[in-house]
Amino acid sequence: MLRSQRSNLDYPGLLEKWLPDPELPPAPSQQVDPCGFVQLPQNPAGGGYYSYGTPARGAGQYGIPGTIRLIEDVARQRNGVPFGVGNISLAKGGRFDPHKSHRNGTDIDIRPLRSDGAGRPADWRQPGYDRAATQALIDAFRASGQVRTIWFNDPAIKGVRPYPKHNDHFHVSVRSTCPKR
């Protein structure tokens, strides 16, 4: 195999044939700025998630590509009911009242899952909350290796930390090396 490769590389002109033309623009997958903001696709059919929250029409659902990809990947890998995605960041980042974070496209609010599978609000202190399904969803985010912290107040859920007002959603903070906005 090594000999074959060596032989190919030595063949005049063959190597150049397979190298990208420096005059051509990079492939679309390489054009994405890893720190540029993109909007979460809104309620794609069969996407495994749905959007909720204000401002309307996903105006608060912009993130760096890694954040959006994480949501899509977790949604694709799961076979359960769709989960609700709320605030991420505004289109240009920066202050997003009344959040302290959600500025850099790396914070995602997600509804806990309900036992009736409905796409409605849920609170871990209220009937209708599905702890097992919520734990599985949180595990799926954590298994990605891209999560810094998850804030959620249900003390029976593993892999999360409590923070005030995180009863009706959990907050996924994604690792990032992008500059702050």
Partner 1 sequence: MPKAIAALALLFCSTAAIAQVDAYSKLSGSLTITSENGDDPPPGAVKDRVGFVLYGASAKQVYDAMKVKPALNVCEDGMRIKTAGALECSRDEQDNYTCMFAIMLANGRSKPFGSC
Q: Which residues bind partner 1 (CB under 8 A)?
A: 52-54, 86-87, 95, 97-101, 103, 107, 109, 111, 120-121, 123, 149, 151, 161, 163-166, 168-169, 171, 173, 180
The angle subtended at Cα 42 by Cα 37 and Cα 47, nearest 5°, is: 110
Count of CB atoms situated within 10 Å of the CB of 79: 6
Amino acid at 95: R
> How far is Cα 65 from Cα 70, in angstroms, rounded to an integer?
8
> How far is Cα 41 from Cα 66, in angstroms, rounded to an integer?
14
- Of 78 and 103, CB closest to partner 1: 103
Q: Tokens in use for 130?
A: 């599905």
- Of 106 and 135, CB closest to partner 1: 106
Minimum separation from the CB atom of position 137 to partner 1 (A): 16
Amino acid at 87: N
Burial of 82 (0-12, 13-18, 19+ CB in 10 A): middle
Minimum separation from the CB atom of position 161 to partner 1 (A): 8
Minimum separation from the CB atom of position 61 to partner 1 (A): 12
- Of 37 and 151, CB closest to partner 1: 151
- Of 46 and 164, CB closest to partner 1: 164
- Of 76 and 161, CB closest to partner 1: 161
Minimum separation from the CB atom of position 5 to partner 1 (A): 46
Minimum separation from the CB atom of position 166 to partner 1 (A): 7
> How far is Cα 169 from Cα 163, in angstroms, rounded to an integer?
11
